[in-house]
A = this chain, B = another copy of it.
Amino acid sequence: MKELWSERCRNLTPYTPGEQPRGRKFIKLNTNENPYPPSPLALRAIREAMEDRLPLYPDPECTELRETIAQVLDVKPGNVFVGNGSDEVLSLAFQAFFDPDKPIRFADITYSFYPVFAGFYGLTYEEIPLDENFALPLEPFLKPGGGVVLANPNAPTGREADFCDIRAIVEANPHSVVIVDEAYVDFGARSAVELVDRYPNLLVVQTLSKSRSLAGLRVGYAVGNCDLIDGLNTVKNSFNSYPVDQLAQAGAIGAMRDVDYFRTTCTKIINTRSAVSNRLRDMGFAVCDSSANFIFVTHESVPAKVLLDGLRDRGILVRWWDKPRISNYLRITIGTGEEMKALCAALTEVLSEQRK
C-alpha cells in the first residue's frame, strides 16, 4: 500500500490533534479555544476585505498586520514575522535556527509539537524534567547548547516560568536561539517581548488563536531581532509560498487594534479561571496554578481517565494524555461561566457515582 511513498514518509508518525467533534453538540473544553467571539472590529475588517480582496493573492509580507502588531507591542515592524498560526511560525523557526548536530533543549512535559518538529527536521534534543510541581528547573538550561524552546505559560500545566529565569536562560545562550512560546501569555503571565530589544538571540512567539478568539483563522507571529526575522523570511520564501490569507490578515488587524475588547475578554477568562479553580479544590482536586486559559487538575481519589469518560458521557470534552507523569491529570479549557457551572455539576455527578 505504501509502495509509492517516499522513504521519509514511510518513517513518519502522525500527530493526533484534540478532537473536533462533528454531529453531537458538546461543551468543548478540550482545545483551549476562547469561549467569546472575536472583536467586532475583526468582523468588520473581514467583511470589508470580502468586498474586493478575495480574487487577489494576499500580501505575502503581511505589511499592514505587522505594522499593527508592532504598534500594539511597542516594537518595530521589522521585528515581527507573521505566519499561519504559531505552529507554522514555530516550524519555520526550528528550520531557521537549529542544526542537527547541536542538541536543543525543552521540558519533558510541554507542548507536544516540539519533539515532532525536531524529529521532522532531523534535530537532536534533550528533554529536561520539570520538578514534581511541574516547575522549570533553571540549571540545565544555563549551559550553552544548540537552542532552547520554552512554553510560557507552559502547556499543558499552565504554569508560568519565573521572568528572571527566562532572562537568565537567554543570557546564558548568546550563541543559540531561545524561543519563548507565549501562546497563552495574555491570560496573566509576563511576556518576554520587552527583552527582545536587548537580546538578539530571543524569539518570542504568540498567537491570535487564544486571547483574540481567532483559532478559526490561523494567525500567529514571532517577535525578535531583525536578523532572526530575516532568517524566518528566508526559510519561508525559499519553499513556502502559503501566505496568510486575505480574510485572516484583515481579521487579525481588526482584532489586534481592539485592545479594550481584548483586555475585557482576557479578564473575564482570568476571573472564571479563579472561580472554577477554587470550586474544584473544594471538590478534592489539586489544581496547578495557571496563567493560561486552561487548568491542569488531578483528583485525590478518582482517576483522570474515569473523569474524562464521565464528562464525555455528559456532553463535555476535556483533554487527557496517556503519558508518563501526567496520565492522572486533565487539562480543562476555561469556557464561559455557564460552561464552567455545567462542568462542575457534571464532575459532582461523576465523583458521587464513584463514591457509591
Contact = CB atoms under 8 A, between A and B. Distances in A.
Interface in A21-44: 22, 28, 31, 33-38, 42-43
A116 B4 contact: no
Contacts of A209: 57
A59 interface: yes
Contacts of A230: 1
Contact of A46 (B3, B28, B50, B201): B50
A36 B20 CA distance: 35
A59 B22 contact: yes
For chain A, the bracket of interface size reads 35 or more
A299 B197 CA distance: 53
Contact of A235 (B9, B177, B238, B247): B9
Interface in A164-188: 175-177
Contact of A57 (B20, B58, B243): B20
Contacts of A59: 20, 22
A87 to B, nearest CB: 5
A221 to B, nearest CB: 14
Copies per assembly: 2
Nearest to A11: B238
Interface string A111-154: 00100110010000000000000000000000000000000000
B9 A95 contact: yes
Main secondary structure of the interface of A (DSSP, over half): loop
B22 A91 contact: no
A97 interface: yes
A4 B95 contact: no
B54 A37 contact: yes
A4 B201 contact: yes
Contact of A38 (B16, B37, B55): B55
A264 interface: no
Interface of A: 1-9, 12-18, 20, 22, 28, 31, 33-38, 42-43, 46-47, 49-50, 52-60, 63, 83-85, 87-88, 91, 95-99, 113, 116-117, 120, 175-177, 200-201, 209, 213-218, 227-228, 230-231, 233-235, 237-243, 245-248, 251
7 contacts: A4-B228, A6-B97, A12-B235, A17-B60, A87-B240, A242-B242, A245-B245
